[in-house]
């Protein structure tokens, strides 16, 4: 089969590689019909995730058709159309019992890490993929849900909702600012309304992204390149600051931006994947009673979000802006990595 293979920082290729095979009885093999590229893949290519080694097939998002099942698999069958979750879960360890699938203790890749696709085992940017713990790690796609909508449930929608909205403790009437109007930030905006946010402020340097944010639930937008951007946000909150500031980029400047606009008693929810440390001004923040949350998505809300997508309550397909075939994988990476020029949100790659 063909797959996108990582060869060290800055190096990747679309290669001929061996087909995956069933290893454990809980495995399935899925023919990948649709996949996409995540900002985390770009972090990997920068060398920010040293656990990813030369030869690894990248990708942790996908929708496909089951072609083979292990002897212990009971919930899916050959021919089923499924969403491949970015997080794998054995379903039986102590963390899985808590719904904290991100820290699954099963020894597939590494104990205590649920994100294994394109990280610790071969991923989904390939024509076929082996999926461990299939009974707990894939979701059947309902009739009427397109591949373009379904693939957004592999990662970005549950990530934006769980780590941004739920961890951020958004509640009815809150003013929420999302720093970074990329796909995950837009997913947080789209789902903040589920918890009753009264005002959702998109903050970004890119005016195009800010314009797009209005279609994903943002009520207001502020360009953080403006010298008075903090004052503009504070002016939308009676000078108090936002109830929840969601960091959705993963660089020190955007985390610092959150600390400037959150009100006393508010929450900073860090969603972005950081490649280096961030300075934390505890000497200024402790007296403001600020809560800081962070984490890796557990995808414990995927089933609920899938129901909303199936009932057209969440327009997940709107994230798809560019479309490619598998043979155009490298072109898709180029388009996604130059999002400021291409105006790409999520690139959809289909076989």
- In tens, the pLDDT along 40-78 reads 999 899 988 899 999 999 999 999 999 999 999 999 999
Separation between Cα atoms, residue 56 and residue 306, nearest integer Å: 29
Average of pLDDT values for 264-271? 98
Report d(CA 114, CA 116) in Å as an integer: 6
> Strand 62-69 relative to strand 128-131: parallel, antiparallel, unpaired?
unpaired
What is the distance between the alpha carbons of residues 20 and 241, in angstroms, rounded to a whole number? Answer: 51
Domains in the chain, CATH or no CATH each: 2-155+299-350 (3.90.180.10), 157-294 (3.40.50.720)
Give the pLDDT score at 276. Answer: 85
Residue 290 CA from chain centroid, whole number: 25
Instruction: Give phi and psi for 220, each to the nearest 5.
Output: -145, 160
Q: 334 near 14, Cβ under 8 Å?
A: no
pLDDT of residue 7: 97
Alpha carbon distances (Å) from 108 to 18, 30, 88, 89, 116: 20, 18, 9, 10, 8
- Confidence band for 274, pLDDT divided at 50, 70 and 90: confident
Over the chain, what is the mean pLDDT? 96
């Amino acid at each position: 089969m063909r797959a996108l293979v990582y060869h060290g920082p800055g190096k990747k290729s679309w290669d001929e590689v061996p087909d995956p095979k069933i290893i454990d009885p809980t495995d399935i093999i899925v023919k990948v019909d649709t996949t996409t590229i995540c900002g985390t893949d770009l972090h990997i290519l920068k060398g920010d995730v040293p656990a990813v080694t030369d030869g690894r097939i990248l990708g942790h998002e996908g929708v496909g058709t089951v072609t083979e099942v292990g002897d212990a698999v009971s919930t899916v069958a050959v021919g089923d159309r499924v969403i491949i979750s970015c997080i794998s879960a054995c379903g039986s360890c102590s963390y899985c019992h808590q719904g904290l699938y991100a820290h699954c203790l099963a020894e597939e890749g590494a104990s205590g890490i649920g994100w294994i696709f394109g990280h610790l085992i071969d991923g989904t940017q390939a024509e076929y993929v082996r999926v461990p713990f299939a009974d707990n790690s894939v979701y059947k796609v309902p009739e009427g849900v397109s591949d373009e909508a379904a693939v957004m449930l592999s990662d970005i929608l549950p990530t934006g909702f769980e780590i941004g909205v739920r961890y951020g403790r958004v509640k009815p009437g809150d003013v929420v600012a999302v720093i970074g109007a990329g796909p995950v930030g837009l997913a947080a905006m789209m789902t903040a309304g589920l918890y009753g946010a009264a005002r959702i402020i998109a903050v970004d340097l890119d005016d195009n992204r800010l314009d797009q944010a209005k279609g994903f639930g943002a009520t207001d937008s502020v360009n953080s390149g403006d010298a008075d951007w903090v004052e503009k946000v504070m002016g939308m909150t009676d000078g108090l600051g936002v109830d929840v500031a969601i960091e959705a980029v993963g660089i020190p400047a955007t985390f610092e931006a959150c600390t400037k606009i959150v009100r006393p008693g508010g929450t900073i929810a860090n969603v972005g994947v950081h490649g280096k440390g961030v300075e934390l001004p505890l000497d200024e923040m402790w007296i403001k009673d600020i809560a800081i949350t962070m984490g890796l998505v557990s995808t414990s809300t995927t089933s609920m979000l899938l129901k909303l997508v199936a009932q057209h309550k969440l327009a997940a397909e709107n994230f798809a802006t560019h479309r490619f075939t598998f043979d155009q994988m490298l072109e898709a990476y180029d388009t996604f990595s130059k999002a400021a020029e291409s105006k790409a949100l999520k690139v959809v790659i289909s076989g």
